[in-house]
Amino acid sequence: MPELRFISRYVKRYGLQYAIGIAALLIVDVLNVNIPKITGQITDGLKTHAIAMNDIWFLIGKILLFGFLIAVGRFCWRYFILLPARCIERELRDDMFAKLETLSMRYFNEHKTGDLMAHFTNDLGTMRMFLGFTIITAFDATVMLVLVLVQMILYVSPKLTFVAVLPLLLIMFGDYYYGKIMHRRFLEKQKAFSDLTDQVQEAVSGIRVIKAFVQERKELAAFARTNLYNQEKNLGVARLQALFLPLLELVIGASSLLTLLYGGYLAIKGEISLGQFVAFNQYITMLIWPMFAAGDCITYISQGLASLKRILIIFNEKPDIVDGPDTDRSIKSLDGRIDLDGLTFSYPDQEQAPVLNNISLHVEKGETLAIIGRTGSGKSTLANLLLRLYDTQPDMIRIDGNLLCEIPLSVLRENIAYVPQDNFLFSDTLENNIAFGMEQKERRAIEQAARDACIHDNIMEFPDNYNTLVGERGMTISGGQKQRTSIARALLKDSPILILDDALSAVDTDTEEQILGNLRRNRAGKTTLIIAHRISTIQNADHILVLDEGRAAEYGTHEELIALDGIYKSIYDKQQLEKQLHEEGGEA
């Protein structure tokens, strides 16, 4: 099975620990199966008066010694098997997180956060049980079963052993069907938990919208339905276990009853001694654990394989964007010259509707390119393509004369500072958020970047200044403060290429003017791309690209586009009118 081949790579790293643990387990089982034999010897000796008191004390001491060694052995097998299981769980979690970070944007567009979180919680917890208690249970039950049956046949009676074990054969057939049903139901249970986790995550992230639209009751009802479905799937697993275990006890009880009846008959006839009869009953009791363990083992294996299958789907996922055979490893940095040649792009699930269509332009190092257009015209897509979050035809985008696919991904993204449209902040301090892209933090450089982004004064007004913690996704500060914090993060990176994707939409015009002035001063000799909706943000750019339904409708400077009297002029006139009405309203 591919799942077992995959997990064996992790298990092999702890092969010695597992070997020591299994060896301790075998020793414990061997000692265990000898105790009934000693008990039988004492019983027969007392009955026939053929045993001396010293011999009785010797045998009792032997039992006590075995008990001590069993206790030590149990500690050893727990330590040497359960510890590697937890270590493998940690390694799997590390590797799975590392794998997720290599995957392309398409994967995250297609998979919900709650489902991914379920992999990191329930599935990995199940894997720990699979690699710990399942191994213990499987080896212990198998070895104990074999050793007990050997002792029952050789020390007591083959005929009695056959009669006692006959009902237990039913368990083998039951175990097979139980495992198949359990595997299917556990997959459904894990899927239901993923849906539940995803709904909670979305509700918490969107709590402001829920409250603003007074949708608490609706969300509560939706959560109740999902929670009820999750409960039903969990009960499906619980019902199966509840049915199987009593049936297991019934079969074991039947075996014990046959042992008492037929064993008693053989003891009365003299075919076995009283001590052998006592020892045989102890062996039957010992068989109860392997039988119960078989059920637990099948449960753990079914659940473990189901979780392993879900985890393996992530590890088998291939990233769309990788360094290919054409990657030029000699490229260590970028200057910032950008060329687009007939750039056309469609998202993978929308190939019939190009988002960008036949766009060509040239931006020299140190120039500023502004992009404006209606919502959905492809502005952010262009930024994503320059970052190579998605791939297009290899000859459509060049930086410094190199095809985009020739530039190592790490070099490309290290040389581009990016302020996305959704200004994501981590649940951390403002200082750490600004310094996120830097290997080493320098407080003076952080503060200077904050000043250039016009956020320093706001930060100093907070009680903890730069040590102020922002909530999840920066919910505890305003939209304008989030934008300026993201700009400060990008300015601190000081890359040859800076992309601002509608990064000034939430700041007032005075603050916008200050930030743009700081950008012109600090970005001299470096390439800047500004995506915006306001003409005031981009009018001083060296080049302005007007996008309309993915096409380059107009291209030129502010003055040239005004003279064209086209889309750009229409947007400009509308915004000027809005500004005039706003000023008149303010004066009134």
Q: How confident is the model at residue 213 (pLDDT cuts 50, 70, 90)?
A: low
- The dihedral through the CA atoms of 260, 265, 271, 274 has a sign that is positive
Q: Where are the alpha helices (DSSP H) in 152-215?
A: 158-165, 169-205, 207-212
- Taking a C-beta distance cutoff of 8 angstroms, is the pair 555, 358 a contact? no
User: So what's the pLDDT on residue 101?
Assistant: 85
User: So what's the pLDDT on residue 374?
Assistant: 83
Least confident of 186-200, 219-233, 292-306, 403-417: 292-306
- Taking a C-beta distance cutoff of 8 angstroms, is the pair 278, 43 a contact? yes
Maximum C-alpha span of the chain: 122
Summarised one tens digit per residue, pLDDT across range 129-162 is: 888 888 888 888 788 878 877 877 777 778 777 7
Cα–Cα separations (whole angstroms), residue 231 to 112, 217, 225, 234, 299:
21, 20, 10, 5, 19
Q: Which two tokens stand for residue 34?
A: 């000898």
Summarised one tens digit per residue, pLDDT across range 262-278 is: 777 777 777 777 777 77
Summarised one tens digit per residue, pLDDT across range 406-458 is: 999 889 988 999 888 877 888 788 888 888 877 777 888 888 988 998 989 88
Angle between helices 158-165 and 274-316 (to 10 degrees): 50
Q: Residue 209 pLDDT more than 80?
A: no
Q: Is 534 left (phi over 0), alpha (psi -120 to 50) or beta?
A: beta
Helix/strand/coil for 349 = coil
Q: How far apart are CA 38 and CA 23, in angstroms?
A: 23
Q: Domains in the chain, start-ordered, CATH in brackets? A: 2-316 (1.20.1560.10), 361-391+407-415+497-588 (3.40.50.300), 422-494 (3.40.50.300)
- Taking a C-beta distance cutoff of 8 angstroms, is the pair 274, 267 a contact? yes
Summarised one tens digit per residue, pLDDT across range 82-108 is: 899 999 999 999 998 988 888 887 788
Q: Where are the alpha helices (DSSP H) in 499-543?
A: 509-522, 535-538
Q: How far apart are CA 129 and CA 306, in angstroms?
A: 13
Which segment, 174-178, 284-288, 385-389, is predicted with the most confidence on average? 385-389
Q: Which residue has the higher pLDDT, 51 or 115?
A: 115
Q: Residue 77 pLDDT more than 80?
A: yes
The rounded mean pLDDT for the chain is: 83
Share of the chain above pLDDT 90, in %: 13
Strand partners, 361: 340
Summarised one tens digit per residue, pLDDT across range 11-37 is: 999 989 999 998 998 888 888 877 777
Q: Which two tokens stand for residue 413?
A: 């993204």
- Mean pLDDT, residues 165-188: 73
- Taking a C-beta distance cutoff of 8 angstroms, is the pair 248, 171 a contact? yes
Q: How far apart are CA 116 and CA 97, in angstroms?
A: 10
Q: Residue 503 pLDDT more than 70?
A: yes
Other Cβ atoms within 10 Å of 108 Cβ, number: 12
Strand partners, 356: 345
Strand partners, 556: 544
- Mean pLDDT, residues 166-181: 70
Strand partners, 370: 530, 544
User: So what's the pLDDT on residue 124?
Assistant: 87
- Mean pLDDT, residues 30-46: 74
Q: How far apart are CA 301 and CA 136, in angstroms?
A: 12
Q: How far apart are CA 92 and CA 79, in angstroms?
A: 20
Q: Residue 587 pLDDT more than 60?
A: no
Q: How confident is the model at residue 45 (pLDDT cuts 50, 70, 90)?
A: low
Which segment, 268-282, 500-514, 523-537, is predicted with the most confidence on average? 523-537
Summarised one tens digit per residue, pLDDT across range 327-358 is: 888 989 899 999 999 999 988 776 667 889 99
How would you list the strands of the sheet with 543-548, edge to edge? Answer: 402-403, 397-399, 338-345, 356-363, 551-556, 543-548, 368-373, 527-531, 497-501, 416-419
